A and B are shown apart, each in its own frame.
Chain A
């Protein structure tokens, strides 16, 4: 049998002029049982190249990494949850800055702050409530002292927009009605 082609491929392989396909041909050629004696010294090289691709991670790897990913996910989820910042968590330095003795005034200060916040939010909400009646829902929301100020402002903005829209609709209805009358 003539091995010219294979010999040539081997030469090209060491000269780095073979294509990926030709390199695959060499690996296939050497994987067969009967390799001619004058090429046999290269059999181990190409057989190693084939075999080395079968080296894989241990079976329990997936389980371990999946649990690691899930733990990371849970942590990320928790980090995303909004936190309620308690007033008691104010730092000592901050209290001193405000001129309040921490031991005596903390409860009063807390209560005052809660009332102040409730009043502020309540007033803001009240201000937003126009003549419209559909506001009961958001009124309840706005009074909840735990809600974020941002959310209240958002609600107010939405309300203003809906009021404006309502007005626009009313105006156009009036316009149409007027037109009809004219006609």
Chain B
């Protein structure tokens, strides 16, 4: 097990997945750091792990959910704050990426979904993972993945059609 070759390459997928949960770039970056260091500390036990990427994503998601829970317990209005920050993030990111206001709107639609739905959208539609890999990462059944993805895509479709003129 070599850190630079085996663990470090996971950084960006771990980052994007954590970011989709915490909706805060700084926190997502801290989670990536924690996840990769923990993986490295456990490197001797990682030979038994079938899918290192899914394992890393599960760890990162758990850290992200812990952070979110902590924020909720501190009575920080997570959604409002997250949305403010999110607008900043998506605006700057989108100017770079697609230079379109409408993609920013899509980001907001996805990020307003419940955590499980947006994480599944992230893993399926952005990272291109199979249902099996997603089920493995989230420790749920494949049919649960499909049902949740279905709800998420339906919600996205509905919101896009509501604002159809905006997206045209």
The chain A residues found within 8 Å of chain B, CB to CB, are: 13-16, 20, 23-24, 37, 40-45, 47-49, 51-58, 61-62, 64-66, 68-69, 72
Q: Is B49 an interface residue (CB 8 A)?
A: no
What is the bound-complex CA distance between A24 and B4, given in angstroms?
A: 30
Q: Which residue of B lies closest to A62 (CB)?
A: B8
Cβ distance A117 to chain B, nearest Cβ, rounded Å: 36
Q: Which residue of A lies closest to B97 (CB)?
A: A51
Option from B36, B107, B164 in Cβ contact (under 8 Å) with A48:
B107
Cβ distance A42 to chain B, nearest Cβ, rounded Å: 7
Cβ A14 vs Cβ B100 within 8 A = no
**Residues on the A chain within 8 Å of B154, using CB:** 14
Option from A41, A45, A47, A57 in Cβ contact (under 8 Å) with B15:
A57
- Main secondary structure on B side of the interface with A: helix
- Main secondary structure on A side of the interface with B: helix
What is the bound-complex CA distance between A20 and B97, given in angstroms?
A: 23
**Residues on the B chain within 8 Å of A64, using CB:** 33
Option from A24, A37, A44, A56 in Cβ contact (under 8 Å) with B128:
A24
Q: Which residue of B lies closest to A42 (CB)?
A: B160
Option from A20, A47, A54, A72 in Cβ contact (under 8 Å) with B41:
A72
**Residues on the A chain within 8 Å of B150, using CB:** 15-16
20 A-B pairs in the complex with CB atoms less than 8 angstroms apart: A14-B153, A14-B154, A16-B146, A24-B128, A43-B167, A47-B98, A49-B125, A49-B126, A52-B16, A52-B107, A53-B16, A53-B127, A54-B97, A55-B15, A55-B19, A55-B97, A56-B15, A62-B11, A65-B8, A65-B33
Option from A47, A49, A69 in Cβ contact (under 8 Å) with B40:
A69
Q: Which residue of A lies closest to B126 (CB)?
A: A52
Q: Which of B30-55 contact A (CB under 8 A)?
A: 32-33, 36-37, 40-41
Given contacts A49-B126, A55-B19, contact A41 B168 (CB under 8 A): yes
Given contacts A41-B168, A44-B103, contact A65 B36 (CB under 8 A): yes
Q: Is B156 an interface residue (CB 8 A)?
A: yes
Q: Which of B118-168 contact A (CB under 8 A)?
A: 122, 124-128, 130, 146, 149-150, 153-154, 156-157, 160-161, 164, 167-168
Cβ B100 vs Cβ A44 within 8 A = yes
Cβ distance B40 to chain A, nearest Cβ, rounded Å: 6
Q: Which residue of A lies closest to B128 (CB)?
A: A20
What is the bound-complex CA distance between A51 and B95, given in angstroms?
A: 11
What is the bound-complex CA distance between A47 and B12, given in angstroms?
A: 19
What is the bound-complex CA distance between A147 and B102, given in angstroms?
A: 73
What is the bound-complex CA distance between A61 and B31, given in angstroms?
A: 12
Q: Which residue of A lies closest to B41 (CB)?
A: A72
Centre residue among B3, B15, B125, B164 by max chain A CB count within 10 A? B125
**Residues on the A chain within 8 Å of B103, using CB:** 44, 47-48, 51
